[in-house]
Each structure stands twice: as C-alpha cells, then as structure tokens.
C-alpha cells in the first residue's frame, strides 16, 4: 500500500551522516500505524541496538503535551486565554521589563500591557530561558533539591522581562509558567492533571515526569554532538531543565517511549480522538492550537529560526501557514515541535498524518534530519 523504502534508507544513514548513534520512528495515517523502524544503537559503547522500547528525555517535545493539557483545562472553563497571568500566579503582577541602553546596560520599567495566558502559549510573554539563573538555583538549594513548581515560579517572576508582553516572539520559560497556571486554575498538580487528561485516556502508561532506576536502566544512552571533533560524545542520562524532584517542567519534563508518545500524536492527527474512542480535545480546540497567533513583527522574528520559513506559531506549536522557500511537502495546517535531543512531533489533522521520531543526542542536527523525514513520509503516503 505504501512504499517507505526511501525513508528507511535515509534513516539508516543517520548514524554515519549525522553522528547520532541511533533512533526510532513511527508514522500514523488515518489513526493507524503504517510504518515503524529503529536503527543504530541505544547504547553505542555497550553495542546495544535500538529496539523502539527505550525511554527518552523528550525535552521541548514536552511542549505540545503541555499545551494540549492546558487546552483541556481551557475546555473545562478553568481559564480563558485573555486573562492576566497574575490572576493565577500573583508573583508576576509586578515583574518589570528591561529597556536596553546603547552600551548594553538596561533600565527597568513597568509592563505597558499585562502578560496574559495566551502570551505564555505563544512565547510572547517577555520571559527568558535562563536555566542557570541565580534565583532558580537559590530555590533549588533552599528546598534541598525538591524545587516545587510553584516555588520555582517565584524565582522566575523575579527575573526582569526581556521585552514587553506581545512585543516579540522569543523562546522562553513560557510553557513552564503555563503549567503552573494550570496547576493553580485546576487545583491539581500539573503532572497529575496531564496524567488525568492525556496519559490515562490514551493509555500512555510509560509516560511520566519522574525518573527512577527502572526507567534509567531502560533509557537510551544520551550523547552530545561535539562540533570540535565532529563526533557524538557520551553525555549521560541527565536533563538540566528538570530542576528538582518536585518540579513539573511543562517545557521539557516528560520522559517517555516512542510508542507512548505516538498515542498522543495519533489522537491529535485525528482531531483529538484516539483509536480507543477516548477524546482528549475537541476538533475545534485542535484547530485553534494549530492556528497561527503571531502578528507580522513576531512572524519575522520566528521565521529566522531554521526550519521555520513556512511556519507561524500557534498555541505552543509551529504551524504551516504557506508554501514557500523551504519546499516542505506537508499540508498547510501541519503542526508540531521538537526536542533538544532530536525528537520530532508532527501532526497533520487535514490528512490525518502523525509522525514521531526519537533520538537522544543533544546538538541534534534536527535542521537536517526533520525536514527530510517529513518530506519522505509525505512522498511515501501520497506518491502512489
């Protein structure tokens, strides 16, 4: 029915060409898995081959899950997108904004417009992504490494905003703060709310925010590409975005397997309904999530990121808005995101196509790998 030979051939070149030791892929069409493949090593040093059963730190591929979870709360009326963030997290009411001088020093001024919940979804809130900030480190130390989510928010709120809300698009802690908003608005710890609204309905039994010895023993070894040597160095199974044992990182905290994450992609590609009949979001909300929310100025900033040339940004996802320079074969409206170690989530509700690709190498060469995967998947599905 489908010919994925070119895709398989390409994937098998990745260890040699891109230096990532191994990876896996799942492709879904009309709610059914139509292609699965693993290649290379889960542990290069021990010569353990990739099987597809491995756990991964999903890093920013957490973000679509977080935003879908937040939209489930939105569907319950827990909040609306135009409400100020400080209504739920009072510490953000008086966060000041940097105004830079020609010598790179800055002054602090009040917010001209309030940061609202939609700004968190769209990376337009003015926040930064400084994981090593002294305020966060202080909270980690004061809580003996627990770093409860709400406590960390107090540290993030002490960091001046880099720009006025909705003035720019800039990658940030937006989805971490969004997770805290959901926690307050629902009265349920964010990781538990995601479990209730996403993991349990979809049967994602291997997805979690917490590592333990069993998960680590089954996790693909993690590497980092060394630009000096052109090789992948052993990094170890750590994630710098998970600040402590009680921190629910909405931006980068999910640990899962490709098949578990695939259940989410499978459902979202079918308008929010899983093959088991459970619905996690309304088709209206899935459409809203994949709708570009950026104005012309923020679109210009977003498009400077490689692989974003044909895309805008919706509620936590890049979304394809026009046919253009990149030559991307995905349909208009295809949306998704990726992770720091190279994972890819791609959702096309129009044609009911879902793609999940996993690898575990930081500095991941995703700008080369992901467009090729999406191109070859679409050619396999439509080049009859």
> Which pLDDT tens digit goes with each residue over 165-187?
999 999 999 999 999 999 999 99
Whether 27 contacts 377, CB under 8 Å: yes
- Does residue 204 form part of some domain? no
**pLDDT of the residue at 328:** 80
Whether 307 contacts 330, CB under 8 Å: no
Range of the domain at 26: 5-61+211-382
- Does residue 299 form part of some domain? yes
- Does residue 18 form part of some domain? yes
The whole-angstrom separation of Cα 384 and Cα 379 is 9
Confidence of residue 374 (pLDDT cuts 50, 70, 90): very high
What mean pLDDT is predicted for residues 330-350?
Answer: 97
Whether residue 341 is found in the same domain as residue 229: yes
CA angle 63, 153, 80 (to 5 degrees): 60
Whether 361 contacts 224, CB under 8 Å: yes
Whether residue 229 is found in the same domain as residue 347: yes
Whether residue 179 is found in the same domain as residue 153: yes
Whether residue 228 is found in the same domain as residue 318: yes
Whether residue 234 is found in the same domain as residue 378: yes
Q: How many other C-beta atoms can be found within 10 angstroms of the C-beta atom of residue 47?
A: 8
CA contacts within 13 A on the Cβ side of 80? 2
**pLDDT of the residue at 384:** 54
Per-residue pLDDT for 199 more than 80? yes
Whether residue 143 is found in the same domain as residue 227: no
- Does residue 206 form part of some domain? no
Whether residue 137 is found in the same domain as residue 158: yes
Averaged confidence pLDDT in the chain: 96
The number of folded domains in the chain is 2
- Does residue 197 form part of some domain? no
- Does residue 123 form part of some domain? yes
């Amino acid at each position: 029915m489908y010919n994925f030979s070119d895709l398989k051939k390409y994937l098998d070149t990745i260890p040699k060409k891109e230096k990532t030791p191994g990876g896996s892929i799942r492709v879904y069409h009309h709610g059914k898995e139509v292609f699965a493949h693993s290649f290379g090593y889960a542990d290069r040093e021990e010569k353990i081959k990739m099987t597809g059963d491995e756990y991964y730190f999903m890093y920013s591929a957490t973000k679509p899950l977080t935003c879908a979870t937040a939209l489930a709360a939105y569907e319950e009326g827990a909040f609306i997108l135009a409400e100020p963030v400080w209504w739920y997290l009072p510490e953000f009411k008086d966060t000041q904004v940097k105004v830079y001088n020609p010598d790179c020093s800055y002054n602090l001024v009040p917010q001209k417009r309030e940061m609202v919940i939609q700004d968190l979804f769209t990376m337009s809130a003015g926040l930064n992504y400084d994981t090593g900030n002294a305020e966060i480190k202080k909270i980690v130390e004061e809580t003996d490494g627990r770093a409860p989510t709400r406590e960390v928010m107090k540290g993030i709120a002490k960091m001046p905003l880099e720009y006025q809300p909705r003035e720019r698009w800039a990658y940030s802690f937006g989805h971490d703060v969004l997770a805290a908003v959901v926690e307050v608005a629902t009265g349920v710890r964010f990781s538990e709310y995601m479990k209730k609204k996403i993991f349990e309905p979809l049967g994602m039994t291997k997805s979690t925010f917490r590592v333990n010895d069993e998960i680590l023993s089954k996790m693909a070894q993690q590497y980092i590409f060394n630009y000096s040597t052109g090789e992948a160095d052993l990094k170890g199974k750590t994630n710098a975005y998970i600040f402590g044992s009680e921190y629910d990182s909405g931006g980068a905290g999910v640990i899962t397997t490709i098949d578990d994450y695939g259940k989410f992609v499978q459902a979202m590609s079918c308008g929010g309904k899983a093959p088991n009949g459970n619905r996690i979001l309304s088709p209206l909300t899935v459409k809203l999530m994949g709708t570009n929310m950026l104005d012309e100025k923020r679109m210009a900033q977003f498009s400077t990121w490689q692989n974003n040339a044909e895309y805008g940004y919706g509620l936590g996802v890049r979304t394809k808005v026009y046919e253009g320079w990149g030559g991307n074969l995905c349909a208009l409206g295809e949306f998704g995101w990726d992770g720091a170690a190279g994972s890819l989530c791609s959702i096309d509700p129009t044609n009911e196509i879902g793609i999940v690709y996993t690898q575990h190498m930081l500095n991941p060469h995703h700008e080369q790998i992901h467009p090729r995967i999406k191109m070859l998947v679409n050619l396999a599905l439509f080049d009859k």
